[in-house]
């Protein structure tokens, strides 16, 4: 093998190793532990669940900030899909306090609740379970209380949707 080829191979190897060495470290967790999932109660239609969760969010001062009708988009592309909608809520002050404490909280914003139809036709409401974040020993008590209140509010919104109760 010519010397120039060897030098190029060594140089490329060093560049790749250097790129990986500078890559940020990431952490992952068990997804099942990081999600809360609630089936709609018997007799509650998906549209009623949507109305109930949006109404409850407004009542609890969680601003409705975004909506994605994923299943509609998929159908427009010719893809057969069950119902999938993503609702995003936020209390700007709470978001500010949490992100100011630690920018990592911004990864959880805005708060999302998804409505999804599974393969069997069951409709579920799904959200991130913030308990893993809340139970972090390094959080100051005030931040922990706020994060718990936000999580409890989201669970209350999900419960309203799952039961169809406003």
Is the peptide bond prior to 110 cis by the omega test (within 30 degrees of 0)? Answer: yes
Strand partners, 123: 117
Question: 123-128 and 84-90: which strand pairing?
Answer: unpaired
For 44-86, how does the pLDDT look when each residue is reduced to its tens digit (9 = 90+)?
999 999 999 999 999 999 999 999 999 999 999 999 999 999 9
Question: Domain extents for the chain?
Answer: 29-163
Give the per-residue pLDDT at 55.
96
From the candidate CATH numbers 3.30.310.70, 3.30.450.20, 3.50.50.60, 3.40.50.620, the one assigned to the domain spanning 29-163: 3.30.310.70
Per-residue pLDDT band for 91 (boundaries 50, 70, 90) equals very high
Is 92 in contact with 151 (CB distance < 8 Å)? no
* Predicted TM-score of the model (pTM): 0.77
Q: Is the pLDDT of residue 23 over 70?
A: no
Q: Is the pLDDT of residue 21 over 80?
A: no
As given in the structure block, the two tokens for residue 68 are: 């994605």
């Amino acid at each position: 093998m010519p010397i120039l080829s060897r030098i190029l191979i060594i140089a490329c190897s060093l560049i790749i190793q250097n790129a990986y060495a500078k890559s940020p470290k990431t952490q992952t967790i068990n997804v099942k532990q990081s999600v809360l999932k609630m089936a709609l109660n018997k007799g509650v239609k998906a549209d009623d669940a949507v109305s109930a969760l949006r109404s409850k969010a407004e009542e609890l001062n969680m601003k409705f900030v975004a909506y994605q009708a994923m299943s509609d988009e998929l159908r427009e592309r010719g893809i057969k899909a069950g119902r999938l909608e993503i609702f995003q809520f936020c209390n700007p002050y709470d978001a500010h306090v949490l992100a100011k404490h630690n920018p990592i909280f911004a990864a959880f914003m805005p708060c999302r609740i998804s409505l999804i139809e599974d393969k069997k036709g069951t409709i579920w409401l799904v959200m991130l379970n913030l308990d893993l974040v809340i139970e972090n020993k390094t959080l100051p008590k005030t931040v922990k209380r706020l994060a718990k209140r936000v999580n409890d509010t989201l669970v209350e919104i999900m419960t309203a949707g799952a039961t169809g109760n406003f």
